[in-house]
Structure 1
Amino acid sequence: MKKSIFLILLLCCVVCHGENRPVNLIFDTDMAPDYDDVGALAMLHAMADLGEVNILATVSSNKCETAVPCIDVINTYFGRPDIPLGAVKGEAPDRTTWHKGLRWTDELPSRYPHRIKSTSASDNAVDVYRNVLSRMPDGSVTIVTVGFFTNLKNLLLSGPDQISPLTGRELIKAKVKLLVSMAGKFPEGKEFNVEVDAKSSQQVFSEWPTPVLLSGFEIGEQIFTGKQLAASKQIGSPVIDAFAMCLPQDDPNGRNSWDQTAVLVAVRGAGDYFDVERGTMTVMDDGSNRWEKCAEGMHARLLFKMPNEQLTGIIEDMMMHKPLSQSKQ
């Protein structure tokens, strides 16, 4: 009976998730190696301005010293400078961008207002998670992770403290209704977010106690966005600046939209955009993953339904969103 209830909850979350608005959401990102994170966070702010999502916190799974300042820049630009910020502590990945010349990870903090000057100066992401989750009603929070799984592993392993008498696993089980991840390559393969900290990925995917929805590498790989952003004449946008600096070095026709697909379904649900297949994702020691289709699986993965051209337009439009303060001018 318990498994049947779980499966009903999983199906409801992944298909109809976006109907109960606004979605209470924590965004966990590896902001720096790639700039689809910038587009994803811009989308979240666009949907927040539409009243579809409450952004409860934004945390970094990457120790790169400019990761949190870049997150802070984007939050501040969209008029939400007080969103709680945090970063992974202890042993964890430290990755920066591969782009040359003007490096967007350095340029955004140098060009735009923000309050946190370095990732190492920010709060512990686990404390941020525990503080936010402990204050929320049961079963009310969605976590979307578009980076490494170090923070989520650390949260799982956290013990009772002054914030909450619950262990991390108990807190997750009580407060989180859905974990959405840009993770994995299906039906099998290696994907960056999972591979970089394979041990943490293994632990999360084997022990996470709530439904999990996966946007795999093969989904975002086929959706190219950012061309409209890079061609924009708008001045003073960190989102436009990031894409304008990077696209000429990659593909002027657009960048793969891995992270954007994850935030789209985290807020609006998969039903209008993607089909889903239930099963189980298993992470191997080398960071590769395998997928087993199973009607009773605790995970679900996205399958294409809406034509890519439509998905591209939806994502691009939200990435072009201006802050409400500018829209009213």
Structure 2
Amino acid sequence: MKTFFYLLLALCCAACAPKKQPVSLIFDTDMAPDYDDVGAMAVLHALADSGEVDILATVSSNKQETTAPCIDVLNTYFGRPGIPVGAPKGEGVSMDTWHKGLKWTEELPSRFPHKVESASQAEDAVSVYRRVLNAQPDTSVVVVTVGFFTNLKDLLESGPDADSPLSGKELVAAKVKRLVSMAGYFPEGKEFNVMMDAPASQYVFENWPTPIVLSGFDIGEKIITGKQTAAMPVEGSPVREAYKMCLEQDNPEGRNSWDQSAVLVAVRGAEPYFGLETGTLTVTPADSNDHWTPDPAGRHARLLPKMPTEQVTATIEALMMHQPTVRK
């Protein structure tokens, strides 16, 4: 009953939230090993429909061929088929879902409309980043990554091109306001997004020139969503279908909300949902460990629990259940 109350409250608050200038955002996802990426994109499009965010681009950090089609399915379903979709073209991780029954990574592209047929056919993620960033005002873009750090490393190392005379690091410093990332096992350990491309993670944490906000493993671990989403009385929703087929194979009560938490903070900020602790996250590629050092002068900040978990859960679930008003 308490969860239902918070869900109802979240729906009401979403409807009456004051309008602000939308956040200009690039979404970077591994879109395959786990399906919280699907929930994160549902949250992102719900916030776009409420005028809170302008989705500039959606890129995959995973070379798995179904990633780009799945991203395109979700963009198309929510009425934004024109959002650029990119994927890595150099060295990188290729990883599919762990499910052995119905695989949502195959089912979504087979059931729902999309134009991008594979990651190989998608545009180079770095090219998407450079073109989109160059077109934006200075210090105006939020980048949120809920996957591997491959694209961000490649972006930082990129050189001048037809879109911009700046190096990748100069372009990021000029155009990006902050990076929000689902990453880190605090205070020390192995976290999936960090360890899958540990050299890239190390490079980004050492060289990214803007503030970084980290939504760690401990944050999303406690926020269990998806049960209501999987039971939505709607037809033709890729979000509903992904959660329905996955929860039937995993836990019918829901799935951890690692990626959704990062998206929520990227758009609305940490408050009132979470507190912040400043410090520095370092990565040692030899063992893929990450280590957090609290420091008031640190270059990074990590989220800390603040709002009751039930209330944050209801907020995220309500956004995941959002349905597009107009599909193009």
| TM superposition score category, shorter chain reference | over 0.9
Identity %: 66
Q: What does residue 138 of structure 2 align with? A: 138
The Cα shift of 1:21 comes to: 2.5
Q: What does residue 325 of structure 2 align with? A: 324
Distance 2:244 2:145 in 1: 25
- What is the TM-score normalised by the length of structure 2? 0.93
Q: What does residue 201 of structure 1 align with? A: 201
Alignment of 1:1-329 (within 5 A): 21-285=21-285, 286-325=287-326
Distance 2:325 2:20 in 1: 23
CA contact (8 A) 1:32 1:64 kept: yes
Secondary structure of the residue aligned to 1:159 is coil
The Cα shift of 1:19 comes to: 8.9
Distance 2:301 2:117 in 1: 38
Distance 1:153 1:19 in 2: 34
The Cα shift of 1:233 comes to: 2.9
Distance 2:145 2:310 in 1: 25
* Structure 1 residues 20 and 140: alpha-carbon distance in aligned structure 2, compared to 1, 3 A threshold: farther
CA contact (8 A) 1:87 1:119 kept: yes
The Cα shift of 1:89 comes to: 1.0
CA contact (8 A) 1:139 1:175 kept: yes
Letter in 1 for 2:73: V
CA contact (8 A) 1:19 1:268 kept: no
CA contact (8 A) 1:220 1:256 kept: yes
Letter in 1 for 2:296: A
Distance 2:180 2:232 in 1: 31
CA contact (8 A) 1:26 1:55 kept: yes
Distance 1:199 1:310 in 2: 37
Letter in 1 for 2:174: A
Distance 1:235 1:19 in 2: 30
Structure (1/2) with the larger helix percentage: 1
The Cα shift of 1:20 comes to: 5.5
Q: Which runs of 5+ in 1 are unaligned?
A: 1-17
Secondary structure of the residue aligned to 2:189 is strand
Runs of at least 4 residues off by over 4 Å: none
Letter in 2 for 1:173: A
The Cα shift of 1:158 comes to: 0.2
CA contact (8 A) 1:19 1:269 kept: no
CA contact (8 A) 1:72 1:116 kept: yes
Letter in 1 for 2:304: L
CA contact (8 A) 2:146 2:182 kept: yes
Distance 2:198 2:292 in 1: 16
The Cα shift of 1:232 comes to: 2.2
The Cα shift of 1:96 comes to: 0.3
Which stretch of the first structure deviates more once superposed, 282-291 or 308-317? 282-291
Distance 2:273 2:175 in 1: 26
How well do the aligned residues superpose, as a CA RMSD in angstroms?
1.1
